[in-house]
Amino acid sequence: MGLSIKNDQLKISAYQVAIILLISRCQSFMHVIGMRSFFNVETSDIFISIIIAMLAIIIIYIPAMMVLKKFKYINIIDICKKVWGKYSNIISIILFLYFFLVSIKHLTGSIFFVTAHIYIDASPLLIVAFIGVVIYALFLGIEGVFRSGAVIFAIFFLLNVIVFFLLFPTYDMMNMGPFVLSDVKNFTQNTFILTFSEELIALLILAEYSKEKTKSSFLSFVLVVFIMQEFLILAIILAMGGYANSVQFPISTITAMVRLPILDRLESAYIVLDTMLSFIKTCLYIFLAKKSFQSIIGKKFDRTLIVLISTICLILSICIVSKLEWLNLLSSLISSPIIVSILVVLLPVSILITSNTVSLTKQPTRCTKVKENK
């Protein structure tokens, strides 16, 4: 029996929200085309970038947490409706376009990963079948996707731990460079890439499901991301050294270096899990795009919107995947510090100022109270 549940009745826990954000982050980290810029073996500045990015994420998200807490952890669209009324439709359209672009970027990156790294002669029907499964899962309900994500991510996390320890014989400490911050431009760029991401905006919508535990979900997400990124990059640098600069997908490459008695190469298990994580992330952002658009037109045309958004994403992704400069431009747009700051910092601050002003103007004066008493 399908999980055909209305969005406002979803039973999703705080830890499931954190895990779904972690899945999104891991996919972004593994499929990013510019990953090679991190592995400058002459220095170890990337580890400082990760620490600064973790602190920066917590700081820039303070206004958003204040807004979510003030309005009892409903999503940012409903908050805008309460404060700005019909003008909130502008925010809904912006969020819809943002999540729609994220869906296209992720699907394009996944197609590129499959066709350029795993199966060069992959049939287009494989991608069509992938989207078909996504549509079917969203028809059943996003709750099932969240629940399966918790199990799949646990296996994926365990796989990364296994890879890290099994690569010990290949580690060479000579691959580690000094912490000198010699290339300020590259250091700043890496910090921005690690700080500004779509997960911060997704939480503004998903907060309505984690309720009062949104803060703990957010902090758990930041902490686990910090740990995974530190250890994954450490493993890549120690195991591959300068070779990491010439590999398109270094995180996938190191799994091919592991040999087990049961599996000739651990890479096969990694690819299967990566496909599952990609499926979950695609479902997430198509769901968020649909949810943002439904805030304007109401809860009708639910399945029609899912099919329409998914189909357009598929068509545009197939067109973009052959043009890497377009994919890089799309990635830069989505992770732009300006765009993310507008939605995560400026929007919550504007809501706080507006809501406080409205509450002050509606507050009865002393004279009004005296008249009411008479």
Q: Which amino acid is at 58?
A: I
Residue 1 lies in a domain: no
Rounded Cα gap, residues 105 and 110, in angstroms: 9
- For residues 149, 150, 152, 158, the Cα torsion angle rounded to the nearest 10 degrees is 150
How many distinct structural domains can be found in the chain? 1
Residue 1: predicted pLDDT: 33
Contacts of 256 (CB under 8 A, 6+ apart): 265, 266, 267
Residue 3 lies in a domain: no
Residue where the block lists tokens 């357009």:
312
Residue where the block lists tokens 């029996």:
1
Q: Which two tokens stand for residue 298?
A: 């109401």
Q: Which amino acid is at 306?
A: I
Which residue segment(s) compose the domain that 168 sits in? Answer: 10-373
- Comparing C-alpha atoms, which of 244, 329, 252 is closest to residue 36? 244
Residue 5 lies in a domain: no
CA terminus-to-terminus distance, the chain: 62
Residue 125 lies in a domain: yes
Angle, vertex CA 107, rays to CA 284 and CA 296, nearest 5: 45
**What does the H/E/C string look like for 308-337?**
HHHHHHHHHHHHHCCCHHHHHHHHHHHCCH
Residue 305 lies in a domain: yes
The total number of residues shown for the chain amounts to: 374
Residue 307 lies in a domain: yes
Residue 70 lies in a domain: yes
Residue 2: predicted pLDDT: 37
182 in Cβ contact with 40 (< 8 Å): no
Q: Which two tokens stand for residue 144?
A: 């099932």
Per-residue pLDDT tens over the stretch 269-283: 777 888 888 899 999
Residue 188: predicted pLDDT: 82
Residue 181: predicted pLDDT: 63
CATH of the domain at 158: 1.20.1740.10
- Comparing C-alpha atoms, which of 32, 20, 61, 21 is closest to residue 233? 32
236 CB burial (10 A radius; 0-12, 13-18, 19+): buried
Q: Which two tokens stand for residue 178?
A: 């000094």
Per-residue pLDDT tens over the stretch 187-242: 788 888 888 889 999 999 998 887 778 888 888 888 988 888 888 888 888 888 77
Rounded Cα gap, residues 61 and 59, in angstroms: 5
CA 79 to chain centre: 22
Residue 370: predicted pLDDT: 45
Rounded Cα gap, residues 153 and 25, in angstroms: 12
Residue 6: predicted pLDDT: 42
Residue 8: predicted pLDDT: 43
Positions in the chain short of pLDDT 50: 1-8, 33, 364-372, 374
Q: Which two tokens stand for residue 97?
A: 């376009």
Residue 334 lies in a domain: yes
170 in Cβ contact with 31 (< 8 Å): no
